[in-house]
Amino acid sequence: MALNPMHQFEVYSIGPEINLGGINLSFTNASLFMAISAILILSLLFFGTKKKSLIPSKIQLITEMSYTFIAKMINDTAGSSAKAFFPFVFTLFMFVLFCNMVGMLPYSFTVTSQIIVTFMLAAMIFIGVTIIGFVKHGIKYLELFVPKGVPLVLLPLIIIIEIISYLARPVSLSVRLFANMLAGHTMLKVFGGFVISLGLLGGWLPLSFSVALTGLEILIAFLQAYVFAILTCIYLNDALNLHH
Amino acid sequence: MKDLKEISTRLKIAKKNIKKVEENNRGTNAASLGKALKISTELVAAVVVGTTIGFLLDSWFDTKPVLIICFFFMGVAAGMLNVFKSAKKMHKKL
């Protein structure tokens, strides 16, 4: 069991089974690690903004840097009209980042390696952005599916293709994060298993790989959170500023 | 008054320099790696979505293999369109 690389992704319930109308609402290890990430984010922001000194302490610096990072990202990709959505994008980025980073700790569980978690986040963004688009532009938002300068004969085909490409957004957004986390953690575990099975003689090579891969995984964990947030900004930009 | 004017012109120059630095920093390494990771899944996702739509419509209208084939190819086209769009966006930014 210790050598099974997929064992780490198992979801099991902690504590009593809770059943509400046929829906299993038990507190699982996934919920536990989501709660841990949320508490970590809240405490970082709480302690980071508690003492507002002119020369910032390390924790205040991290908080301020994450704020300016997201603010700049929104300004660059979606323009100043998207500033109202800063809290949403910031929450999303911090949650994905902390879930990924907490998953890098030994004996922890990576919440973002579950497709249902990432798909829920992506579906939330997709539905939200579509509603924002319709509220802002009304029925004119459907112009997104009709590119300019297309001959009338090709128009039905192009519209279907555009609709498919629009519907593919949540799928690509969720699969990207899920697949990256799943593949990375499986690979780490496989190399870890090699260390044990090759023993003291041959185990050093996979061990060094494991160390290098851990560094790569931390980079991927940050990068995937960044990509998730920046794509949210791009979709917001499409919804707010039509045809730009 | 003369001092104030001098300060304001110096401020203008400093602001211009900040803008220049910001423009130069746009295509940093981490950002480009993120873009590369982004494109790779876009192609696959559209194919999956297209095929799923074809499958659902097929079982709805009882036209078993026709629509799934049509929508598979449209999904491929949509995936390429997505890749093309994001590549164009990157080009614009550079």
The full set of domain ranges for chain B reads: 2-93
With a pLDDT cut of 70, the percent of chain B lying above it is: 79
Asked if pLDDT for residue B31 goes beyond 80, the answer is: no
Secondary structure (3-state) at B25: coil
For B82, name the nearest residue in chain A, comparing CA atoms only: A165
Q: Is B30 on the interface with A (CB under 8 A)?
A: yes
Q: Tens digits of per-residue pLDDT, A183-238?
A: 999 999 898 888 888 888 888 888 999 999 999 999 999 989 998 998 898 888 88
- Annotate chain A with DSSP letters as a single string: -TT-TTGGG---B-SS--EETTEE---BHHHHHHHHHHHHHHHHHHHHTTS--SS--HHHHHHHHHHHHHHHHHHHHH-GGGGGGHHHHHHHHHHHHHHHHHHTSTT---GGGSHHHHHHHHHHHHHHHHHHHHHHHGGGGGGGGS-TT--TTTHHHHHHHHHHHHHHHHHHHHHHHHHHHHHHHHHHHHHHHHHHHHHHHHTHHHHHHHHHHHHHHHHHHHHHHHHHHHHHHHHHHHHHSTT-
In this prediction, residue A243 carries a pLDDT of 64
In this prediction, residue B28 carries a pLDDT of 57
| Confidence bin at B22 (pLDDT 50/70/90) | low
* H or E element at residue B26: none
Chain B CB contacts of A175 under 8 Å are: 41, 44-45
Chain A CB contacts of B85 under 8 Å are: 165
Chain A CB contacts of B68 under 8 Å are: none
Asked if pLDDT for residue A47 goes beyond 60, the answer is: yes
In the predicted model, what is the mean pLDDT of residues A106-114?
Answer: 89
| Confidence bin at B94 (pLDDT 50/70/90) | low
The answer to whether the Cβ–Cβ distance between A168 and B33 falls below 8 Å is no
Sign of the torsion angle spanned by Cα atoms A93, A99, A103, A105: positive
The full set of domain ranges for chain A reads: 7-240
Asked if pLDDT for residue A110 goes beyond 70, the answer is: yes
Q: Tens digits of per-residue pLDDT, A162-173?
A: 888 889 889 988
The answer to whether the Cβ–Cβ distance between A168 and B37 falls below 8 Å is no
| Size (chain B), residues | 94
Chain B, residues 41-70, CB within 8 A of chain A, namely 41-42, 44-46, 48-50, 53
User: Residue A217's closest CA among A191, A181, A189?
Assistant: A181
Q: What do you get for the CA distance between the two ends of chain B, in Å?
A: 42
Its pTM stands at 0.82
Interface confidence (ipTM) of the complex: 0.71
Asked if pLDDT for residue B34 goes beyond 80, the answer is: no
> With 0-12 CB in 10 A as exposed, 13-18 as middle and 19+ as buried, what is A193?
middle
